Structure 1
Amino acid sequence: MKTFKLKLLNVMEEKDGEIIPHRIPLIDGLIINREDDKNQWTVEAYVESSYMPYFEQLSKNKDEILIQVKITKESNDTATFITSIIGMNEIGSNMNVLFLGNIVDRRKANIESMLTTLIEEGYQGKELLKKFKEIT
Structure 2
Amino acid sequence: MKTFKLVGLKVEQNEDNVNRVKEIVLEDGLIINKEDGENHWLIEALVSKDYATFFEELANLKSDLRIFVTISKKSNTPAQINAKIKSLTILKEHMSILLEGRLQTKKLKHNPEKLLSDLMTQGLSGDSLLQAFRQNVNEKKG
- Counterpart of 2:111 in 1: which secondary structure? helix
CA apart distance, 1:18? 3.0
Question: Distance between the aligned counterparts of 2:69 and 2:54, measured in 1?
Answer: 18
Shift in Å, 1:37: 4.0
State how far apart, in whole Å, the 1-side matches of 2:104 and 2:74 are: 19
Gaps of 5+ in 1: 115-135
Q: Write the distance in 1 (CA, Å) between the matches of 2:30 and 2:96.
A: 11
Partner residue of 1:24? 24
| Separation in 2, partners of 1:81, 1:65 | 8
Structure 2 match to 1:111: 109
Deviations 1:55-104 (A, max 9, x none): 11101124100000110000000101000000111121211001100011
Instruction: Decide which moves more: 71-80 or 45-54.
Output: 45-54
SS in 1 for 2:110: helix
Give the residue type in structure 1 aligned to 2:41. Answer: W
Aligned to 1:4: 4
Which has the larger Rg? 1
Percent pairwise identity: 36
Q: Quote the Cα distance in structure 2 between the aligned partners of 1:65 and 1:43.
A: 13
Aligned length: 113
Residue identity in the other structure for 2:110: E
Amino acid at match of 1:93: E
Query: How far off is 1:15 after superposition?
Result: 2.8
Matched to 1:19, the amino acid is N
Could you say which residue in structure 2 is the equivalent of 1:61? Answer: 61
Q: Which runs of 4+ in 1 moved over 3 A?
A: none
Q: Tell me how large the CA RMSD over aligned residues is.
A: 1.5
1:1-136 equivalence runs, <5 A: 1-106=1-106, 108=107, 110-113=108-111
Length-normalised TM-score, structure 2: 0.74
1-structure distance, mates of 2:69, 2:99? 12
Query: Where do 5+ consecutive residues of structure 2 fail to align?
Result: 113-140
Q: Cα offset for 1:9?
A: 0.5
